[in-house]
Amino acid sequence: MLSEFDLIARYFTRPPRAGGPVRLGVGDDCALLAPPAGESLALSTDMLVEGRHFFAGADPFSLGHKALAVNLSDLAAMGARPLGFTLAFALPAADAGWLAPFSQGLLALADVHGIELVGGDTTRGPLNLCITVFGSVPDGQALRRDGAAASDDVWVSGTLGDARLALEALQGRRALEPARLAAAQVRLDRPEPRVALGHALRGVATAAIDVSDGLLGDLGHILSRSGVGAVIDADALPCGAALAHEAPDLRREFALNGGDDYELCFVAPAARRQAVLDAAHRAGVAVTRIGQLTQASGLRVTDRFGKALALHSRSFDHFATP
Ligand code: ADP
Ligand code: MG
């Protein structure tokens, strides 16, 4: 059995990259990071709990990827550039067969984004992963939730709903043929945080959020923080490749209230449509215009003809009473 310190040294310690923001990484009482001059630090923490956010026995490589991805997604939604991250976790045993693929999944995504694991905490206990990411954004350029103006367009990146479809299939609540399940499960297990898009939208989008709990619920946070309402065209929603084969009612429901999408929902003035498309092109991500903000509060969903649909936010709440 590995000791706590062997485990940290073997799986979570790498020499710092030259020229990066990390002055001191794993191994001291604190890590030292040097954010660029004139920028604010952007911090975010997300926790993944076994049995709640992922199935017991989940593939450790995917878990490593996802634990970091969901955190980077928050930096993306702020328009921040990632600098580094910490990992605090509890695990039942120092099992090399689990730790090796977990750290590979985690550090492979860190490499994609050119960032380092700079510290953490390791204890024994029921499997529970908590990552804190550190990023930076030039003062005044963060994509906050409270910057939206009535009449801005509403946009979403990528596609929605496949993660929810995979989740329900894996829970045995829905039949899905193996090829479609495999396609959808990639979206559930290996979300790709839209960091390049968030960065490209600085100075273009007026507000942004990442879609983790379902589009309607997450857009609702922009609306309440900005004091506006919205009309969303359910027929304009970009459905995931697997979800696109399902019936229209399910497509709408999962695209609007799916969860675990990790796309960006953002708003921008109608006069900046070309700038939005240019930003998306630079980031290599598709974006779709799905509606409009309104002076009147509330969130309405319509079909493509503007007819109101009875679809409401069913955002996930850990403490909701059933
Ligand atoms: P302390 O007692 O000062 O909190 P620890 O003994 O918990 O320090 O950790 C020793 C060093 O290893 C610290 O630099 C800490 O940041 C790092 N560390 C601990 N756990 C992890 C981990 N899971 N991933 C990366 N670094 C870690
Ligand atoms: Mg400690």
Q: 13 CA distance to ligand 1 centroid (A)?
A: 10
pLDDT at 279: 98
pLDDT at 321: 64
Q: 227 CA distance to ligand 2 centroid (A)?
A: 42
Mean pLDDT for the stretch of residues 94-123:
97
Q: 259 CA distance to ligand 2 centroid (A)?
A: 33
pTM of the predicted protein model: 0.95
Q: Which atom of ligand 1 is nearest to the CA of 89?
A: 23
Q: Which atom of ligand 1 is nearest to the CA of 27?
A: 14
Q: For the segment 39-85, what is each residue's pLDDT rounded down to a tens digit?
A: 999 999 999 999 999 988 999 999 999 999 999 999 999 999 999 99
Please state, in angstroms and rounded to a whole number, the distance separating the CA atoms of residues 253 and 179. Answer: 22
Nearest CA to ligand 1 atom 9: 121
HSE-CB at 242 with a 13 A cutoff on CA atoms is 25
Please state, in angstroms and rounded to a whole number, the distance separating the CA atoms of residues 67 and 189. Answer: 10
Q: How far is CA 153 from CA 45, 75, 239, 271, 318, in A?
A: 29, 22, 19, 9, 31
Mean pLDDT for the stretch of residues 159-165:
98
Q: What are the E-state strand segments in the chain?
A: 22-24, 32-33, 39-49, 81-91, 116-124, 128-138, 153-157, 207-211, 229-233, 263-268, 287-294, 299-302, 308-309
Q: Which atom of ligand 1 is nearest to the CA of 121?
A: 20
pLDDT at 1: 75
**Residues 77/130, Cβ–Cβ less than 8 Å:** no
Considering only residues 220 and 15, tell me which one the structure prediction assigns the higher pLDDT: 220
Nearest CA to ligand 1 atom 2: 29
pLDDT over threshold 70, residue 322: no
pLDDT at 313: 72
| Residues within 6 Å of ligand 1 by CB | 8, 12, 26-29, 87, 89, 117, 119-122
Query: Which ligand sits nearest to residue 122's alpha carbon?
Result: 1
Q: Which residue out of 5, 8, 91 has the highest number of ligand 1 atoms within 8 Å of its CB and is therefore the one to mutate?
A: 8
pLDDT over threshold 80, residue 209: yes
Which residues are CB-neighbours of 222 under 8 A, at least 6 positions away? 145, 148, 207, 208, 209, 265, 267
Mean pLDDT for the stretch of residues 226-250:
97
Q: Which atom of ligand 1 is nearest to the CA of 122?
A: 20
Q: 59 CA distance to ligand 1 centroid (A)?
A: 24
Q: For the segment 258-297, what is each residue's pLDDT rounded down to a tens digit?
A: 999 999 999 999 999 999 999 999 999 999 999 999 999 9
Query: Which ligand sits nearest to residue 121's alpha carbon?
Result: 1
pLDDT over threshold 70, residue 227: yes
Residue with tokens 């309104």: 294
pLDDT over threshold 80, residue 169: yes
Which residues are CB-neighbours of 238 under 8 A, at least 6 positions away? 156, 158, 159, 160, 255, 286, 288, 290
Confidence band, pLDDT 50/70/90 cuts, at residue 254: very high
Average predicted confidence (pLDDT) for the chain:
95
* Short-list 314, 302, 282, 293, CA closest to 150: 293
Q: For the segment 286-312, what is each residue's pLDDT rounded down to a tens digit?
A: 999 999 999 999 999 999 999 999 877
pLDDT over threshold 90, residue 17: no
Nearest CA to ligand 1 atom 16: 119
Nearest CA to ligand 1 atom 12: 27
Least confident of 190-204, 212-226, 308-322: 308-322
pLDDT at 310: 85
Q: Which atom of ligand 1 is nearest to the CA of 25?
A: 14
Residues in the chain: 322
Query: Which ligand sits nearest to residue 6's alpha carbon?
Result: 1
Please state, in angstroms and rounded to a whole number, the distance separating the CA atoms of residues 88 and 119. Answer: 8
pLDDT at 2: 85
Q: Which residue out of 5, 32, 118, 122 has the highest number of ligand 1 atoms within 8 Å of its CB and is therefore the one to mutate?
A: 122
User: Which runs of consecutive H residues, i.e. helices, occur in 127-194?
Assistant: 162-170, 178-189
Query: Which ligand sits nearest to residue 10's alpha carbon?
Result: 1
pLDDT at 196: 98
Mean pLDDT for the stretch of residues 189-217:
97
- Strands laid side by side in the 128-138 sheet: 39-49, 128-138, 81-91, 116-124
